């Protein structure tokens, strides 16, 4: 590994720091987006379940009325 001295070492450390911060921030954004998507899908599945329940109740009620 080459020895980095003087101004180059400052640039090198800054590059490492800025890239690390960028990757950390990018990962945080991706994780937050994934969590939002998970919640949205979860909410949609609950809504879908409610819709199916209502349709089933309506179908059962129709069946009882026909008898």
Angle, CA 47 vertex, CA 59 and CA 29 arms, to 5° = 160
Q: What is the tens place of the pLDDT at every residue in 1-22?
A: 555 556 677 777 777 777 888 8
Q: What is the tens place of the pLDDT at every residue in 13-46?
A: 777 777 888 888 888 888 888 888 888 877 776 6
For residue 67, pLDDT over 60 is answered with no
For residues 58-65, give the mean pLDDT.
74
Q: Any idea of the CA torsion for 55, 57, 60, 58, to the nearest 10 degrees?
A: -50
For residue 37, how many C-alpha atoms fall within 13 Å in the half-sphere facing its CB? 6
Query: Residue 31 is encoded by which pair of tokens?
Result: 């994780």
The CA distance from 59 to 54, in Å, is 9
pTM more than 0.85: no
């Amino acid at each position: 590994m080459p020895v980095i001295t003087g101004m180059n070492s400052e640039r090198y450390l800054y590059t490492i720091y800025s890239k690390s911060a960028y990757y950390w921030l990018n990962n945080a954004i991706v994780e937050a987006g994934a969590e939002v998507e998970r919640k949205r899908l979860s909410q949609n599945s609950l809504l879908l379940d409610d819709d199916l329940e209502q349709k089933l109740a309506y179908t059962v009620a129709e069946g009882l009325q026909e008898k």
